[in-house]
Amino acid sequence: MFKITIMNNLFRALNDATRREILELLKDGDMTAGDIADKFDMSKPSISHHLDLLRQADLVASVKKGQFVLYSLNMTVMDEIMVWFMQFKPATQTEKPRIRLHVGK
């Protein structure tokens, strides 16, 4: 079970569209901070801030390779998130969900 602090960091990290886009980029493989920054129209310090928040939430791991820092998804945390979310799924498919989400046009 996740601790509250870990969950708060996790949801804080996922609460930003740029950070979610970074995670999507990393699903295709490891990238340097420079490679990630090239995909966005913002400063490298801003990207570094986003990467730091993702690292604090353990959603990404970083490894120094020479003069570069290589970022990758932390799949262990992704697996733990999925297990945590799955606890809210009804036990049987015949149960009706208690909350219905409506997507606007």
Residue 98 lies in a domain: no
Q: Rounded to 5 degrees, what angle do the CA atoms 39, 69, 51 make?
A: 55
Residue 36 lies in a domain: yes
Give tens-digit pLDDT for 65-79.
Answer: 899 999 999 988 888
Residue 100 lies in a domain: no
Number of structural domains the chain divides into: 1
Residue 101 lies in a domain: no
Residue 94 lies in a domain: no
pLDDT score for 78? 81
Q: Which domain holds residue 46?
A: 4-75
Residue 46 lies in a domain: yes
Residues 56 and 13: their CA atoms lie apart, in Å, by 8
62: domain CATH number is: 1.10.10.10
Residue stretches of the chain with pLDDT short of 50? 105
pLDDT score for 50? 97
Residue 99 lies in a domain: no
Residue 104 lies in a domain: no
pLDDT score for 88? 87
pLDDT score for 5? 78
pLDDT score for 95? 58
